[in-house]
Amino acid sequence: MTAIQETLAPVAIDHADHHHEHPSWLAHHFDDAEQQYDSGKLGMWLFLVTEVLFFSGMFCAYALYRNRNPEVFEFCSSFLNEKLGAINTGVLLFSSLTMAWAVRAAQLRQHQLLVGMLGATLGCAAIFLGVKAVEYSHKMEIGLLPGKLYVAQLDGVHGPHKGYLEFICTIPAICTALCAAYAIYAFATKSLFHQRVAGPMLVAGLCFFGGVGLGQYLEAQEEASKGHGGHGGHQEHHAMVEGHVEHGSHEHAAASESAHTAENKTASEMAANASIAMGGSPDVYIAPNELRTPNADVNQRSMAGLFFSIYYCMTGVHAIHIIGGMIVITWLIVKAARQEFHEQYFGPVDNVGLYWHLVDFIWIYLFPLLYLIT
């Protein structure tokens, strides 16, 4: 830019001005560093507003569905591993701490500490995703899938599908391998800059698999404490519905359930229940009070399946935000390794920090709303 200006207009520009040429970190349409910082930050807050409104659509779906079918949430929440959710909350809170600390380090020109804090944030994000990968794969294996893919629990369909975890882990494994190759290159060439970038990236890659290990350990512990075949604290539900389920799929279960409860009801209500049980459209579903009360028909696609649609949608979109955050934090690490930040120019760290705290903010609500329903 400077070169072009000099060649195009060597006469027009007063040469005295070149002493006041804007520094590389100040975009030249801003008067000064503070104006640049404030503009960037206002833009970031506006973006966060769109994010809040975007997530509120999903929270609205959640609120409506829970309002209508509280028993579905009680039933399905028992399949979510509270311990893993709590650990992920802690990990995300810690990453928020390191991110806020990174902003401080950028403002105080603590370049090494800044790279370290950004690296810690990246690592925590990777642990979070690793634990999430275990949660997802475990649910997929036992048929806790969204919508019509939902396989009713309690009827012995356990683990027909394996290998989801390996599948999910392929991309992180490739990324980690690339980071390792980059780290080897960095140490071979003895480039301090590359070492400072490659180090945190490799650690983050390994953290993902650390998270996977942690998740698997806790999931196995949970499994063991609940006894074989039991998932979550709904043993009493097993007992209650067992009689209807003995001989077959969940369709039979629901059909016999509805036939059983509808004895003293009008034919039309019974017929409507039957049509649902036969896989009819959930649009015509009616929920007489007898069926809405304890554990009668929650374990089917039109009920639990919808919960898991909401669960995967909310946590999945949140996880996508984590991945996006990891990408921009990696960009920050590159800039931090070049020692670009100082008290006049820390906007990028601050704004990515704002984004990261918003992701944490969303999880603060998701955790109790999904995992902690009793």
- Rule CB under 8 A: which of 217-276 touch another protein? 267-269, 271-272, 274-275
Tell me how far, at minimum, the Cβ of 308 lies from another protein, in Å.
Answer: 20
Contact segment (CB under 8 A) with another protein among 6-14, 196-204, 296-304, 314-322 equals 6-14
- Distance, CA of 63 to CA of 66 (rounded, Å): 5
Measured from the CB atom, is 50 or 170 closer to another protein? Answer: 50
For another protein, how many residues bind (rule: CB under 8 A)? Answer: 79
- Distance, CA of 288 to CA of 292 (rounded, Å): 6
Q: What angle do CA 233, 236, 237 make, to 5 degrees?
A: 90
Please tell me whether residue 165 binds another protein under the rule CB under 8 A: no
Which one among 40, 71, 82, 173 touches another protein, defined by CB under 8 A? Answer: 82
Measured from the CB atom, is 99 or 201 closer to another protein? Answer: 99
- Distance, CA of 121 to CA of 99 (rounded, Å): 6
Q: What interhelical angle do 111-141 and 306-337 show, nearest 10? A: 160
Site for another protein in 87-146 (CB under 8 A): 89-90, 93-94, 96-97, 99-101, 103-104, 107-108
State the CB neighbour count (10 A cutoff) for residue 194.
18
- Distance, CA of 330 to CA of 251 (rounded, Å): 49
Which one among 184, 192, 239, 372 touches another protein, defined by CB under 8 A? Answer: 372
Measured from the CB atom, is 82 or 141 closer to another protein? Answer: 82
Contact segment (CB under 8 A) with another protein among 47-55, 125-133, 154-162, 309-317 equals 47-55
Q: Is the backbone of residue 27 left (phi > 0), alpha (psi -120 to 50) or beta?
A: beta
Site for another protein in 12-41 (CB under 8 A): 12-14, 17, 20-22, 28-29, 31-34, 37-38, 41
Q: What angle do CA 40, 41, 47 make, to 5 degrees?
A: 95
Please enumerate in sequence order all residues whose Cβ is within 8 A of that of 74, keeping only pairs 6 or more positions apart, or say none: 373, 374
- Position 342: which residue type? H
Measured from the CB atom, is 17 or 160 closer to another protein? Answer: 17
Measured from the CB atom, is 313 or 369 closer to another protein? Answer: 369
Contact 260, 245 (CB under 8 A): no
The tokens for 243 are 């009689």
Site for another protein in 188-207 (CB under 8 A): none
Which one among 58, 206, 328, 354 touches another protein, defined by CB under 8 A? Answer: 354
DSSP state of 371: I
Contact code string over 284-303 relative to another protein, x by CB under 8 A: xxxx----------------
Contact segment (CB under 8 A) with another protein among 58-66, 134-142, 241-249, 307-315 equals 58-66
Contact code string over 305-344 relative to another protein, x by CB under 8 A: --------------------------------------xx
Tell me how far, at minimum, the Cβ of 14 lies from another protein, in Å.
Answer: 8
Sign of the alpha-carbon torsion through 189, 194, 200, 203: negative
Measured CA to CA in angstroms, residue 321 lies from 167, 253, 260, 279, 318 at distances of 21, 39, 47, 35, 5
Q: Which of 346, 356, 246 is nearest to 34 (CA)?
A: 346
Which one among 25, 164, 209, 361 touches another protein, defined by CB under 8 A? Answer: 361
Q: Which of 127, 143, 68 is nearest to 299 (CA)?
A: 143
Measured from the CB atom, is 191 or 235 closer to another protein? Answer: 235
Tell me how far, at minimum, the Cβ of 198 lies from another protein, in Å.
Answer: 28
